[in-house]
Chain A
Amino acid sequence: MSARRIVLTSGKGGVGKTTTTANLGAALAKRGKRVVLVDADIGLRNLDLVLGLEKRIVFDLVEVVEGRCQLRQALIKDKRFQSLSVLPAAQTRDKASVSEQQFAEVVNGLDELADYVLIDCPAGIEHGFRNAVAGAAEAIVVTTPEVSSIRDADRVIGKLNERDMPIRLIINRIRPEMVRTGDMMSVEDVVDILNVKLVGLIPDDEEVIDTTNRGEPIVLVPDSRLGEIYEKIARRLNGENVAFTTLSAPGIFSRLFGQRKAG
């Protein structure tokens, strides 16, 4: 069976691509899937940090491309999940050192080793973006409910449409209390504008700042609200029909005044 190759992209930086890639990968691995995460952000890699694997890097993607090591040698096994591994980006090279075709070949080489290959795309729509997309057959666009993020997501969706690949949407960092006061766009507004299939809604939660800094996947934190959400996204990606449940938002405002969808 061949792997599903999915790029996580956004246009705008800092919307949560890397954190989402790491946690979604961990959630899929928790479900027993074989997962390889590919860091396409050559020169500014961070996926290794988010998973706490930065000290274990021996080889990287550029060295694989240049034939200085085997693909299997460059894969770092996760500390917690047997079936999760990371292909790190090179830190001291630039994105132009790998061509689109070379990138696609590396990803194709993972076909036998994984059920899911998740590619963490760099910000922007330059060479690094083109590489990341060249390796993928499907895309997940990550956006926040902010005007600039949505504008960039729209631009990226246009570029992905040219390549005719299925696109799914994750809306990240939703602040339900701000949606309620009309200070933040609602999920419906964002989906209306971007018009792609929704696969995840993630509330803004300070928990993720801490787990990301500590290099720990949130799906391993017991009773974590965000952990459950990533697991739901993993199930949806896997073809299950999982409803978007209504969760109460954090903070006293929303507890007093209302509830918003999450999941």
Chain B
Amino acid sequence: MHELQEDPAPGEETVKRPRGRAIVITSGKGGVGKTTMTANIGTALAQGGAKVALVDADVGLRNLDIVLGLEARVRSHVLDVLEGRVTLDDALVTDKRVPTLRLLAAAQTREKDEVDTTAMHALIDTLREQFDYVLIDCPAGIEKGFTNAIVGADEAIIVCTPEVAAVRDADRVVGLLGNRESIKLIVNRLRPELVRRGKMLSVEDVNAILRLPLLGVIADEPGVIISTNKGEPLALDVGSTAGAAYRAIAGRIAGTNTSKPLIPQPATFLQKLGSFFGGRR
């Protein structure tokens, strides 16, 4: 187990470790899958042995705790830490499944305007001293909550669904992110069958507008809704297609996976037949 030290003495091991990476997961438009993506990428990175902190920046409408199945274990939140009521160490909730994964929950009964942007930046910096990855789950929109979520991150992942409205919002957010070290794209909820019939934008259509390095593509599947409702990230499910895609994305972030993202294709007749007789998946 690793130790969390707020103020390491000079010369100790913690001082020498490189600063962790702070990555914000954002989109502009809501409901495109930011929170599910944060939970799954974080789980997959931690499963690979990295120390990962997930920060829910959606003060007032938090959900990352639910998606991770940790809602009953949350006792304190970001604002408790920023306002000095608890230590950072006490506010971090350890994941049930992956011991190197921690959650810092958002306050549910407070407002985003109450979070000081400078203090939020300092908090992310502190987390970067202790973790290999700090993933920040950004709220929808581009108001104060967005500003606070992006302030400490020098990398960003844009989650976008193949819809005109989501692409337009994502494009706006890319503009607002400015000169980040890296801005990469995940296309979420692709329905290959609809793309084939010309009823949905393709990954190429989306990226013709956004023009970002592609980190991965996740197909729309009911399994994601089920796992989100149950609080069990699919990244741990070795039989799930989406789970494999989340793990591949985590590998690309860590640099251990150099393969190009797979674009999900429509199921063949035999696959459809198989899923009809064999149930989902």
Contacts and interface: CB of A to CB of B under 8 A. Distances in A.
Interface stretch (A59-67, A79-87, A125-133): A125-133
B228 A210 contact: no
Given A18-B165, A184-B225, A210-B199, A11 B61 contact: yes
Contacts of B66: 147-148, 151
Interface stretch (A29-37, A44-52, A192-200, A225-233): A44-52
Contacts, number: 129
Contacts of A186: none
A43 B61 CA distance: 20
Contacts of A122: 140-141
- Residue with the highest number of chain B CB atoms closer than 10 Å, among A11, A14, A50: A14
Nearest to B113: A126
B164 A212 contact: yes
B61 A46 contact: no
Interface in B167-226: 168-169, 172, 191, 194, 199-201, 222, 225-226
B224 to A, nearest CB: 10
B199 A125 contact: no
Nearest to B36: A148
Nearest to A183: B226
B172 A125 contact: no
A155 B60 contact: yes
Interface stretch (B9-17, B24-32, B252-260): B24-32
Contacts of B113: 126-127
B165 A126 contact: no
Interface string A147-160: 11101100100000
Interface in B219-277: 222, 225-226, 228-229, 276
B114 to A, nearest CB: 11
Interface string B23-44: 0000011111001000000000
B47 interface: no
A146 B229 contact: yes
A78 interface: no
B142 A155 contact: no
Contacts of B191: 206, 209
Contact of B28 (A44, A50, A94): A44
A252 interface: yes
Nearest to A149: B31
A94 B142 contact: yes
A19 to B, nearest CB: 9
A112 to B, nearest CB: 31
Contact of A212 (B112, B144, B165): B165
B163 A213 contact: yes
Interface string B65-103: 011000000000000000000000000000000000000
A91 B61 CA distance: 24
A124 B143 contact: yes
A183 B222 contact: yes
B156 to A, nearest CB: 17
B20 interface: no
A5 interface: no
A178 interface: yes
Interface string A1-23: 00000000001111100100000
B145 interface: yes
Contacts of A94: 142-143
Given A94-B142, A126-B141, A128-B141, A14 B222 contact: no
- Residue with the highest number of chain A CB atoms closer than 10 Å, among B31, B63, B163, B201: B31
A46 B63 contact: no
- Residue with the highest number of chain B CB atoms closer than 10 Å, among A91, A126, A155, A185: A126
- Residue with the highest number of chain A CB atoms closer than 10 Å, among B67, B112, B142: B142
A11 B139 CA distance: 11
B140 A210 contact: no
Contacts of A178: 222, 225-226
Contacts of B6: none
A106 interface: no
A14 B169 contact: no
CB-CB nearest 8 A-B residue pairs: A13-B30, A14-B31, A13-B140, A123-B30, A123-B140, A148-B63, A46-B165, A210-B199
Interface of B: 28-32, 35, 60-61, 63, 66-67, 108, 111-113, 139-145, 161, 163-165, 168-169, 172, 191, 194, 199-201, 222, 225-226, 228-229, 276
10 contacts: A12-B31, A12-B63, A44-B142, A46-B168, A124-B141, A125-B61, A127-B113, A147-B229, A148-B35, A155-B61
